[in-house]
Amino acid sequence: MTDPLVSANRLSVSYRIPKTLPWEEQQYFEVLKEVNFEILPGQRLGIVGESGSGKTTLGRAMLRLVKLSSGQLLFDGENISTLKQSALRPMRQRMQMIFQDPQSSLNPRRRIANIVTQPLIAFGKLPDRSALRETASTLLERVGLNPDLIDRFPHELSGGQRQRVGIARAIALEPKLLVADEIVSGLDVSSQAQIILLLESLSRDMDLTLVFISHDLSVVRKLCDSVIVLHQGRIAERNSTDGLFRFARHPYTRELIRAIPLPEIDDNWLDQNNDTQSKGGLAMQIKNATVLVTGANRGIGRAYIDELVKRGAKKVYATARTPSEIKTSHANVETHPLDITDRDAVYQLASKLSDVDLIINNAGVNMMSALVASDGLDAARAEMEVNYLGTLSMCQAFAPVLKENGGGAILNMLSILSRVNLPLMGSLCASKAAGLSLVQGVRAELAAQNTAVVAVMPGAVDTDMSKDFPPPKMAPADVVSAALDGLEEGLEEIYPGEMASGLNQGLSADPKAVEKELAGYLPG
């Protein structure tokens, strides 16, 4: 693996708040709060945030243009967090910046030729002054400007032209790292497109590492390969651009994305209440997701396939022990045979389906077996084999795939029986309880790789598996719909239906009463 070009460890920047009276305690305003990140060579990193999020400060801190209050900053393997400006000077050839406001970043008293060659002169790379005009012309041509402009003053150019001059100055020294701070925000969409294309081609041709600071997610999506979302001085989320837009995890990121007005007529867009926040967990959008569903041949599994397609999933892998039973006519549904108790098969499939970002562990069995009242361990073993071990295999096999794809999610179909016990089905309940425990453990283990792990715990559902249960029973489609809503909202535990949510509330209020009540609930 290549070494990062920039790496920041608990980087903080704070400003002193001026004291009114000398004996008051010094107050600080923290702009950046212990930020950690790495930038690999050649990467195009977008830094996104709203005003006051600290994004400009982060850009300037990277180049040590503001004073760091704590933390470590490595550039090209060298610790520059405490270097003096004089010691930094030679490194500045390798790191350059383009500023937000081309009006203020170009000295109004200098001609364009002097502005763009200034870096070369500062580093003694232009020993022959007679070459100045020629060099300046070449630089202007590289950024798509007419070389005739070299004798002009900045105020004689248009906004887009000035921004190009800023770019020309920044690339004059052929730096490794280029930080561009909101450089298209003041431009018309047409000039903006030109500047984006210019940056794209420059960074490709010059092997630049680009840090692109912007409030505009659409531009970042176009230009960058990975994104940091800053919120109130902290990194809310970091992911590949693709990953971020496909499953934005932080509620703030999701709000940002939802607030982008797409040029598509949508009468409801303004009515969608963007104050509904996530419930604190990681969330994932189904739209454009690639989903694998186990046990897709029956009840809930089938409902999942339909609902996923309806919600705009890019691709659905429907798996079952006997794939021929999966009935679907959608073009983007692909069937695969899979027995989740067959660990090798699970791993084989994982290596094949490398684009999955949502796993729905739906497969499960119910042997309708009591605990003490049954003889032997076969039923219990079979249930554990599928409900617990099979699901675990799936998690083990697909976790790296999800990581590769930016995080993704695992959604495990459990039951309210994970939380309560039913007489005569104790064995199933135990396996489902193990499943819940599994969810919690896997969630903790995969938190670092940004994978959501969700438990869905419905009450009785109207499927062939629970045909012996008395009503009321939920329709599978409703369960699925509630589960996916919860996932999109960022819930970690989803209780579809009244029965499940009622029991969940009861459990947190008075578990004993629930136990008593359920003692009389008998299937069949």
Residues 64-93 binding another protein (CB under 8 A) are 65, 85-86, 88-90, 92-93
Q: Could you tell me the smallest distance in angstroms from the CB atom of residue 156 to another protein?
A: 6
Q: Could you tell me the smallest distance in angstroms from the CB atom of residue 157 to another protein?
A: 6
Q: What are the structure tokens assigned to 120, written together?
A: 């070369």
* Cβ pair 223, 202 in contact under 8 A: no
Helix-, strand-, coil-residue percentages of the chain, each rounded to 5: 45, 20, 40
Q: What are the structure tokens assigned to 354, written together?
A: 């490398």
Nearer to another protein, 105 or 421 (CB): 105
User: 318 has which bridge partners?
Assistant: 293, 335
Choose which of 148, 266, 325, 515 interacts with another protein (CB under 8 A): 266
Window 370-409: contact mask with another protein (x via CB under 8 A): ----------------------------------------
* Cβ pair 255, 494 in contact under 8 A: no
Window 333-372: contact mask with another protein (x via CB under 8 A): ----------------------------------------
> Is residue 259 close enough to count as binding another protein by CB under 8 A?
yes
Helix residue ranges, H only, 260-365: 299-310, 343-352
Residue among 272, 205, 279 nearest 488 (CA): 279
Choose which of 125, 221, 321, 336 interacts with another protein (CB under 8 A): 221
> Is residue 63 close enough to count as binding another protein by CB under 8 A?
yes
Q: Could you tell me the smallest distance in angstroms from the CB atom of residue 93 to another protein?
A: 8
User: CA dihedral defined by 84, 87, 89, 91, rounded to 10 degrees?
Assistant: -110
> Is residue 265 close enough to count as binding another protein by CB under 8 A?
yes
Q: Where are the beta strands (DSSP E) in 224-308?
A: 226-231, 234-240, 290-293
Segment contacting another protein by CB under 8 A, of 258-266, 325-333, 357-365, 512-520 = 258-266
Choose which of 55, 162, 238, 249 interacts with another protein (CB under 8 A): 162
Q: Could you tell me the smallest distance in angstroms from the CB atom of residue 253 to another protein?
A: 11
Q: Could you tell me the smallest distance in angstroms from the CB atom of residue 182 to another protein?
A: 11
From CA 146, how far away is CA 153, in angstroms rounded? 14
> Is residue 240 close enough to count as binding another protein by CB under 8 A?
no
Nearer to another protein, 76 or 385 (CB): 76
Q: Could you tell me the smallest distance in angstroms from the CB atom of residue 395 to another protein?
A: 29
From CA 154, how far away is CA 156, in angstroms rounded? 5
Q: Could you tell me the smallest distance in angstroms from the CB atom of residue 409 to another protein?
A: 20
**202 three-state secondary structure:** helix
From CA 49, how far away is CA 90, in angstroms rounded? 31
Nearer to another protein, 159 or 506 (CB): 159
> Is residue 509 close enough to count as binding another protein by CB under 8 A?
no
> Is residue 262 close enough to count as binding another protein by CB under 8 A?
yes
Q: Could you tell me the smallest distance in angstroms from the CB atom of residue 123 to another protein?
A: 7
Q: How many residues contact another protein, by CB under 8 A?
A: 76
Q: Which long-range contacts (CB under 8 A, 24 or more apart) does 321-329 make?
A: 321/297, 322/297, 323/297, 325/297, 325/298, 326/296, 326/297, 326/302, 327/302
- Is the Cα dihedral 468, 471, 476, 482 positive or negative? negative
Choose which of 95, 113, 289, 452 interacts with another protein (CB under 8 A): 95
Give the angle 301-304-308 at the CA atoms, nearest 5°: 150
Choose which of 264, 344, 375, 464 interacts with another protein (CB under 8 A): 264
Choose which of 80, 106, 136, 305 interacts with another protein (CB under 8 A): 106
Choose which of 4, 54, 71, 119 interacts with another protein (CB under 8 A): 119
User: CA dihedral defined by 181, 182, 188, 189, rounded to 10 degrees?
Assistant: 100
Give the angle 11-14-15 at the CA atoms, nearest 5°: 155
Nearer to another protein, 34 or 50 (CB): 50
* Cβ pair 254, 52 in contact under 8 A: no
HEC profile for 433-485? HHHHHHHHHHHHHHHHHCCEEEEECCCCECCHHHCCCCCCCECHHHHHHHHHH
Nearer to another protein, 264 or 464 (CB): 264
> Is residue 501 close enough to count as binding another protein by CB under 8 A?
no
Nearer to another protein, 93 or 449 (CB): 93
Nearer to another protein, 154 or 496 (CB): 154
Choose which of 33, 111, 125, 215 interacts with another protein (CB under 8 A): 215
> Is residue 107 close enough to count as binding another protein by CB under 8 A?
yes
Window 168-207: contact mask with another protein (x via CB under 8 A): -x------------------xxxxxxx-xx----------
From CA 307, how far away is CA 311, in angstroms rounded? 6
Window 1-40: contact mask with another protein (x via CB under 8 A): -------------------xxx------------------
Q: Could you tell me the smallest distance in angstroms from the CB atom of residue 476 to another protein?
A: 30
Neighbours of 131 (CB within 10 A): 13
From CA 305, how far away is CA 477, in angstroms rounded? 10
